[in-house]
């Protein structure tokens, strides 16, 4: 029995180690879900993820999840404060999740969305904002739905 356990342990440790790609699509999408909608319902979190994927599919925006999430005006390779597509990315605050339960939920939802397990509940929305603000651009778009305290447009 001990010999068998030792053999299994040796096989596990002999496997090549793979580094975690923190800029992979799952990580980038989970960050956006976490920082944009951690206080929202499941539908609110899903809708935020849907907007990211809708942008990836739209010619107006970059072609990958990470490029969409980190889209910003830059100076010397750093995002300019308040000049990002998603406010959390350039608000000057630390971008490390502090609530591990919510972070794990965000990673799980990012996986499910990337694997196509949920349909788009935003009717193809490409933009959203909190109901606490009224951005200038919202007047020029078509409001398609409101989920929790976010308004979604296309």
Q: What is the pLDDT of residues 43-73, one digit of tens each?
A: 999 999 999 999 999 999 999 999 999 999 9
- Total of domains in the chain: 1
Answer whether 51's CB lies under 8 Å from 127's CB.
yes
Tell me, yes or no, whether 146 lies in a domain.
Answer: no
Which of 76-90, 92-106, 116-130 is most confident? 116-130
Give the predicted TM-score (pTM) of the model: 0.83
Tell me, yes or no, whether 145 lies in a domain.
Answer: no
**Domain harbouring 50, CATH code:** 1.10.10.2520
Tell me, yes or no, whether 136 lies in a domain.
Answer: no
Tell me, yes or no, whether 87 lies in a domain.
Answer: yes
Residue 96 has pLDDT above 60, yes or no: yes
Tell me, yes or no, whether 82 lies in a domain.
Answer: yes
* Dihedral Cα 114, 142, 137, 63, nearest 10 deg: 30
Answer whether 54's CB lies under 8 Å from 126's CB.
yes
Percent of the chain scoring above 90 in pLDDT: 74
């Amino acid at each position: 029995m001990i010999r068998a356990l030792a053999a299994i342990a040796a096989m596990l440790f002999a496997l090549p180690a793979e580094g975690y790609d923190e800029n992979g699509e799952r990580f980038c999408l989970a960050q956006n879900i976490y920082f944009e909608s951690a206080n929202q319902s499941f539908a609110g979190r899903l809708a935020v993820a849907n907007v990211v994927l809708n942008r990836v599919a739209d010619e107006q925006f970059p072609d990958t999840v990470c490029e969409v999430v980190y889209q910003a005006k830059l100076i010397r390779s750093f995002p300019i404060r308040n000049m990002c597509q998603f406010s959390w990315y350039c608000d000057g605050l630390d971008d490390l999740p502090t609530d591990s339960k919510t972070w794990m939920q965000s990673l799980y939802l990012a996986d499910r969305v990337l694997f196509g397990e949920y349909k788009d509940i935003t009717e193809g929305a490409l933009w959203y904002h909190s109901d606490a603000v009224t951005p200038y651009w919202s007047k020029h778009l078509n409001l398609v739905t409101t989920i929790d305290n976010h308004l979604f447009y296309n």
